[in-house]
Amino acid sequence: MADVLTVVAKVRATKGKGDALAALLREQVAAVRKAEPGCLVYRPHRSTKDPDLFIFYEQYKDDAAFDAHRKAPHLAAYRERREKEGLVAGPPEVEIYRSLTD
């Protein structure tokens, strides 16, 4: 599928809060999969060397699907909870890619 958007994001948990962040990320995955039909893949990964380091691999069928994700109430709730509970050690690093071929 040409024009698929792929998002790769790196998030670092506050030292010692990797397990709490992992639990929140699992909840977020369930919310995204339930509410966003335009999201093709939404998969967090945890580093095998650093338990406080996570990456997301996400794919959206088009710009509209990605825009819907960014505006989704469950994403806002996730961010608010993540900040309120002090689960992250800074803003995520996000890279967005567009597929070149089908």
pLDDT in tens, the chain (102 residues): 667 999 999 999 999 999 999 999 999 999 999 999 999 999 999 999 999 999 999 999 999 999 999 999 999 999 999 999 999 999 999 999 998 887
pLDDT of residue 34: 96
Its domain, for residue 51, covers 5-98
pLDDT of residue 1: 66
Among candidate residues 43, 46, 17, 13, the one with its CA nearest the CA of residue 28: 43
Q: Is the pTM of this model over 0.95?
A: no
pLDDT of residue 3: 79
H helices of 1-102, where?
A: 18-35, 63-71, 73-84
Q: Give how many domains the chain has, as a whole number.
A: 1
pLDDT of residue 8: 98
pLDDT of residue 100: 86
Say which CATH number the domain at 37 has: 3.30.70.100
DSSP H helix total and E strand total for the chain: 3, 4
Q: Where on the phi/psi map is residue 83: left (φ > 0), alpha (ψ -120 to 50), or beta? A: alpha
Residue 72 to residues 28, 36, 100, Cα–Cα distance (Å)? 11, 9, 27
